[in-house]
Amino acid sequence: MTARRLAGTDLAARIRAEVAERAAARRDAGRPARLVIVTATDDEASAWYVRSIASAAGKAGLDCDVADLGTAATADDISARLAGLSADPAVDGVMLQTPLPPGVVLADVSGAIEPAKDVDGANPVSLGRLAVGLPAYAPATAAAVVALLDEYAVGLAGARAVVVGRSAVVGKPLAHLLLDRDATVTVCHSRTRDLAEVTSTADVLVAAVGRTHLVTPEHVRDGAVVVDVGTNPTADGGLAGDVDPAVAEVAAALTPVPGGVGPVTTALLLKNVVD
């Protein structure tokens, strides 16, 4: 079997086109939609991601500013800036880029982002609301996984879904979104005993770990749908997923890296800003 390729590029382009239309209407009405990304890192991969969001925002007609607080920023500095932007009526969306300076814990500062402007679902209140089924912005990556599965009409109700990774930005919110869609959800992590035994029960398997090619054919049931969230830098400047390409021989469908979850994530982040 060679797995169907679940690319995210067409879906992302459609979302961006809708965003551009709504952003143009906002601009005509007198005030452009505006996203501010707060950073406090000199991490190269992070800088690349921020540039790609800013570029996509610009093309869609949104204003996007980067507030770089520098690597010496304290938790108080970051919280104060997030609170200031949240209170600023000229700002529609606030995003805090990770990694943060050593000693600064995301959950300690992200609470300063007003939930109504929390376009990447970083405030613990957003995750809590998601968990109990109240309206909230989900982290864009988690939402992108579900949007991509919907795009290819992958049935979730009653399906066994296994998510590998339990971060607050991907694995945990995704588990809630999948539960909300009536999947039977299992979440794995670094302490999971016999990972392959658990993952090979999945109808839908999502890898969100950050380890190149961790998921091999022995982790995948014949005919499963596999979503690869991993974006691991390669020596030649490219990107590798968490899923070994050999999985395409057993899975029914597989998302590519790059060109799968990534472009949908950026598009949904911008959609949250105009929303």
Which stretches of the chain bind ligand NAP, using CB under 6 A?
141, 164-167, 169-171, 188-192, 195, 208-211, 214, 229-232, 261-262, 265
Nearer to ligand NAP, 86 or 167 (CB): 167
Q: Which of residues 30 and 102 has its CB atom nearest to ligand NAP in the complex?
A: 102
Q: At closest approach, how far in Å is the CB of 148 from ligand NAP?
A: 10
Q: How many other C-beta atoms can be found within 10 angstroms of the C-beta atom of residue 242? A: 24
H-helix or E-strand spanning residue 53: helix 44-59
Contact 261, 255 (CB under 8 A): yes
Residue 232 CA to chain centroid, in angstroms?
14
Residue ranges in the chain assigned as alpha helix (H)? 9-28, 44-59, 75-87, 106-109, 124-131, 140-151, 171-180, 195-199, 261-274
Please identify which residue in the block is written with the tokens 């979104």: 177
Q: How far is the CB of 223 from ligand NAP (least distance, A)?
A: 23
Report the residue number, 62 or 268, with the smaller CB distance to ligand NAP. 268
Identify which of 265, 206, 210, 257 has the alpha carbon closest to the alpha carbon of residue 232.
210
What is the nearest approach in angstroms of ligand NAP to the Cβ of residue 164? 5
| Tally of residues, the chain | 275
- Check residue 245 and report its DSSP letter: G
Q: Please provide residue 109's backbone torsions phi and psi, each rounded to the nearest 5 degrees.
A: -110, -30
Shortest separation between residue 93's beta carbon and ligand NAP, angstroms: 17
Nearest distance from residue 39's CB to ligand NAP, in Å? 15
